[in-house]
Amino acid sequence: MQSAAPIGESRDHLPTVRTTTAMPAQNGARPDRGQAAAQLPAIIAAIAVAHRPSKMPFFQRLSALPSQIIRDPGLLGELYLVYQATMHATRAAVYFLPHLDSPAMRKRKLRIFIDDDGLPGGDTHHYQLTRAFRNMGALCPVDDEEFGDAEELASHLDAGTLAFVQLAKTLYSHSLGPWCIVETMSDDWMRALADSLSTHFPQIVHEPYFADCFAQGVEERHAEEAIAVTQCVLERRPDLLAETIEDANTMADALDAIWGAMDDILSRAISRHQNARVFG
């Protein structure tokens, strides 16, 4: 599989994967309430399979990277910045989810917020991730509290990652599809990242960012809740199914591009290392 093209760019040799399903009836006919909600889990699962992060070349390349390359603090910092900015964008965007303003739905959203941003002792997944990379020796180029709006991050990010950060807030505030697909795929990419890094840093699997999530099934629980909540919305608003699916596909494409961008970082590091051996 080839690396995904950076967001906003295209590569002619890359196929575009779109997962489709039976859409609501056209010509003004109101789609069936129960059918819209019932279709959702299988559709999201199919998108997740088509875009499974662990199949992306980045994770295999990271695992196979020579130790003298991966232990470069600057390289680890580059990877950290793209990954943390991507995760930050989705965590922050959850606060803008639509259609969930009733008291009951706000209570369900609050549980997600607490899992990410209300950990014991004032900890958060953001801080946990920063510590994990610093414990590997990463030179993190952006302080934790500099991760704010896209405009605040813009000067630190490459164009592709910045585009993802901007897209995440737009899509999450438009429909629940992006939230569903991110939560559904997140356990897969976290395990792939932990497995790849553990080849070089065995202690990484014990970092709270990974260990706590895996032990408590946090990402799997979030996936189940995102689907269940969205089904509740579709029971009331089956007309939202089409945009929910379209936005989920768009977000999955954007995540492909992030793994492709991180793979490009590794490829450039390998080239620098090879050139240094030749001309050094």
What confidence tens digit (pLDDT) does each residue in 158-192 have? 999 999 999 999 999 999 999 999 999 999 999 99
10 within some domain: no
pLDDT in tens, 206-215: 999 999 999 9
C-alpha to C-alpha distance for 76 and 213, rounded to whole angstroms: 22
- Count: domains in the chain: 1
In sequence order, what are the residues at sequence separation of 6 or more whose Cβ sits closer than 8 angstroms to the Cβ of residue 255? 51, 53, 86, 164, 182, 185, 189
243 within some domain: yes
27 within some domain: no
Range of the domain at 222: 66-269
In this structure, which amino acid lies at residue 12? D
Is the pLDDT at 255 greater than 80, yes or no? yes
16 within some domain: no
The reported pTM is 0.87
163 within some domain: yes
Q: What CATH number does residue 233 fall under? A: 1.20.910.10
For residues 259 and 14, is the Cβ–Cβ distance under 8 A?
A: no
24 within some domain: no
